[in-house]
Amino acid sequence: MKFSTLLRHLREGSLSVVRNGWMSFASISSIAISLFILGVFLLLTLNVNNLTKQIENQVQIRVFLSLDISREKIEAIGRSIGALPEVSRIRFVSKAEGLEILRRNLGEDGQGILDEYDDTNNPLPDSYTVEVVDPERIAEVAAKIRAIGDADPDRPIRSVRYGQGTVEMLFRVTNAVRNVGLVIVLGLAFTATLLISNTIRITIFARRREIGIMKLVGATNSFIRWPFFVEGALLGFIGSAVTTAVLLAAYNWLVQSLQLEFGLMMIRLVTVRESGLLVAGVLIGIGTLIGIWGSAISVRKYLKV
Amino acid sequence: MIEMRDVWKIYPDGSQALRGVSVLIERNEFVYIVGPSGAGKSTFMKLIYREEVPTRGEISVNGFNIGKLKPRKIPYIRRNIGVVFQDFRLLPKLTVYENVAFAMEVIEAPRRLIRKRVMEVLELVGLKSKANSLPAQLSGGEQQRVAIARAIVNNPAVIVADEPTGNLDPETSWGIMNLLEEIHFRGATIVMATHNKEIVNTLRKRVIAIENGVIVRDEPKGEYGYEI
């Protein structure tokens, strides 16, 4: 293709968007609306993912040791646990530290309850806090740690806790939300594609006469196709760009106005700065591709003589 | 230039539009195709510009066996055949200039050449001053002139005109005929289907009459031969 021909296709495609004013408006609107819903779910999925990650980072195993074991034994246990490939970090929490953490967690309401305890009569055991590489396999790792204790005749590990049940439940819920979100997003992308290709088909149907005349004066099929590709891509691009701008502006406002409430619930929303590029890329990419694809299938239909 | 050998055209619904037509049209001939409606004139024309393919038989236009042409090659054949219709078939949203330039853009002619040649052709058909008008702003005769300008802008060897005066009043029709004569004079082969008795009987050319899908008459300087 000559460069001047390429320019002609670009010019014709863009002009055609303007010439078919209302049809273009309809196509752009349908792209914008479909992709808006898709964008909402995309942001929702991103936030669920983010939330899951936050929870995953907070998940840890507490290993409580027996009260009557030696310093060496304690260190040996720490080394054995640290040597497990699934363990990412292990930290020793002395009984004094444990008491301190307990006091802090009880907060103001619990002040005084623990006042009579000090270093001399601390009832708490020494413990290890263990973080795992893959939080979803936390039960497995906990079992392995328990096995280390059971293998020693002194039974140096008194208990292993990781919020049994609760953590598994949490992961089941977040996984379900994530999967359902993905299915909805895929379904909406499919619906949007159908809607858009249909709209572009109507645009082209209205111009089948034009295509017929083009063929009559000796236009090759690719020559006829190109302006329609340009037009489809432009419609998709404009529609998705409008959606992206509106969606991100609205989301930014939402994040800022909800920051305080969600912050108190220990939930941090994904910011526009973190997600904006991804959301814009996905929406505009999909929108443009859908536009091209929609015009491609529709043009092919009317190019058969 | 155009040769048909025992050409049959049977449409999917079973109707036999052409039944064993053989004809030879030489370079720079001007031929009228006459006959009653539904006799096969339009099919005859469509076969020449490869809108239809023959069910049987061979057609060669300009040395190409166009019945056996690969679909990919069709556009290149069409560029050597200018087609004019009764209903003009202009693009309503393009100006006169753009409608004519369109046929040159399609063959990727350089822009400067397009500008020069389109103005030349518009001058020939007498519409230079209406270059920036839209088809809807023109009279029927003027629209047909635009269609003819588009048909000849690429200097095709053959002009196929399917009832070019069918929608025009007598006076305007004569203007169109003068234009076709001029194009013929410049070297084009012209095949024109028509119902216009006055034109055929006055501007005497070769007449081929088709009835029921067969050629019933073929005479040089013939007459229309039907009562309207």
Q: What CATH number should be reported for the domain holding residue A124? A: 3.30.70.3040
The most confident of A106-120, A195-209, A285-299, B12-26, by mean pLDDT: B12-26
Nearest to A8 among B71, B74, B105 (CB): B105
Q: Which positions 28-67 of B are in contact with A (Cβ < 8 Å)?
A: 49, 51
Q: Same domain for A44 and A65?
A: no
pLDDT digit string, tens, across residues A282-296 = 899 988 988 888 788
Q: Which domain holds residue A123?
A: 60-161
Q: Same domain for A262 and A205?
A: yes
Q: Which of A98, A131, A161 is the last residue of a domain?
A: A161
pLDDT digit string, tens, across residues B76-110 = 889 999 999 999 999 888 899 999 998 998 888 88
In whole angstroms, give the CA distance from residue A93 to residue A130.
10
Q: What number is the average pLDDT over the span A253-264?
A: 78
Helix, strand, coil percentages, rounded to 5, for chain A: 75, 10, 20
Q: Same domain for A146 and A186?
A: no
Closest residue in B to A212 (Cα–Cα) = B89
Q: Does A10 touch chain B (CB under 8 A)?
A: no
Q: Which of A161, A182, A211 is the last residue of a domain?
A: A161
Q: Does A223 touch chain B (CB under 8 A)?
A: yes
Report the predicted TM-score, pTM, of the whole model to 2 decimal places: 0.66
Per cent of chain A over pLDDT 70 is 91
Residue B54 per-residue DSSP state: -
Q: What number is the average pLDDT over the span A125-130?
A: 87
Q: Same domain for A93 and A200?
A: no
Q: Does B13 touch chain A (CB under 8 A)?
A: no
User: In this structure, are residues B43 and B216 in contact, taking their beta carbons and an 8 Å threshold?
Assistant: no
Q: Same domain for A263 and A290?
A: yes
Q: Does A8 touch chain B (CB under 8 A)?
A: yes
Q: Same domain for A46 and A84?
A: no
Q: Does A216 touch chain B (CB under 8 A)?
A: yes
Closest residue in A to B72 (Cα–Cα) = A220
Q: Which positions 15-34 of A are in contact with B (Cβ < 8 Å)?
A: 19
Q: Same domain for A43 and A177?
A: yes
Pairing of strands B56-61, B206-211: unpaired
Exposure of A141 in the CB half-sphere (CA atoms within 13 A): 28
Is residue A305 predicted with pLDDT exceeding 50? no
Q: Same domain for A140 and A266?
A: no
Tokens of A32: 């914008």
Q: Same domain for A40 and A116?
A: no
Q: Same domain for A21 and A89?
A: no
Determine the longest span between alpha carbons in chain A, in angstroms. Answer: 101
Q: What is the overall mean pLDDT for chain A?
A: 81
Q: How confident is the model at residue B115 (pLDDT cuts 50, 70, 90)?
A: very high
Q: Same domain for A190 and A239?
A: yes
Q: Same domain for A173 and A287?
A: yes
What domain count does chain A have? 2
Q: Which of A126, A142, A161 is the last residue of a domain?
A: A161
Residue found by looking up tokens 């349908």 in the block? A30
Residue found by looking up tokens 């489809």 in the block? A232
